[in-house]
Amino acid sequence: MKKVHVTFQPDPAAEDISIVFSASKRDADVEALMSRIADPLSGTVTVTDPRGALVILSEDDIITISVNSKKLRVTAEDGEYEMKTSLQEIESALNPLLFLRISRYEIINLAKVKRFDFSISGQLRIEMVNNTQTWASRRYISVIRNRLKQRSGIL
């Protein structure tokens, strides 16, 4: 994942907002960012609440998305919801800068992580802001480490 630098250049003659993307090439990261800017509603997902009503949920409110008994469960700050899609489909629709797959069955929102615990030999425990804990699959630990290094320059 590339770093995104945001700058503002005032233009007194401009009536509209103009956004220019500058990168070495137009790749998947650039495309994802461009589509999110062009369509602000792309940062939402439609879920079903426990009563069966459809709810539009902002990606910012999502803590985890996981598969449980062949159902896709979305844990948000205000409760739990279900979705009628596959984990792979929702992963491709989510903001790749915000969400990270940690196992075959779970995706987390990086902004909702309280703590990563790499101290357990060969395992990674992740504590979320709602005080729940989840575990990363061993197969994903190196991917997670690399992603965290890119984001913060540590580890």
Per the domain annotation, does 85 fall within a domain? yes
Q: Global pTM?
A: 0.71
- Give the CB-side neighbour count of residue 140, counting CA atoms within 13 A: 17
Q: Is residue 23 part of a domain?
A: no
- Which domain covers residue 87, as residue numbers? 28-152
Give a yes or no: residue 107 inside a domain: yes
Q: What is the DSSP string of 36-52?
A: HHH-GGGGEEEEE-TTS
Establish if 69 belongs to a structural domain: yes
Which of the two residues, 123 and 137, has the higher pLDDT score?
A: 137
55 located within any domain = yes
- Sign, CA torsion 37/104/108/77: positive
Q: Give the residues across from 64 on adjacent strands.
A: 75, 108
Predicted pLDDT at 37: 79
In the prediction, which pLDDT does 95 show? 86
What CATH code is carried by the domain that includes residue 144? 2.40.50.1020
**Domain total in the chain:** 1
Is residue 21 a part of any domain in this protein?
no
Distance CA 28, CA 31 (A): 5
In this structure, the chain runs to a length of 155
Is 81 inside a domain boundary?
Answer: yes
User: Is 97 a domain residue?
Assistant: yes
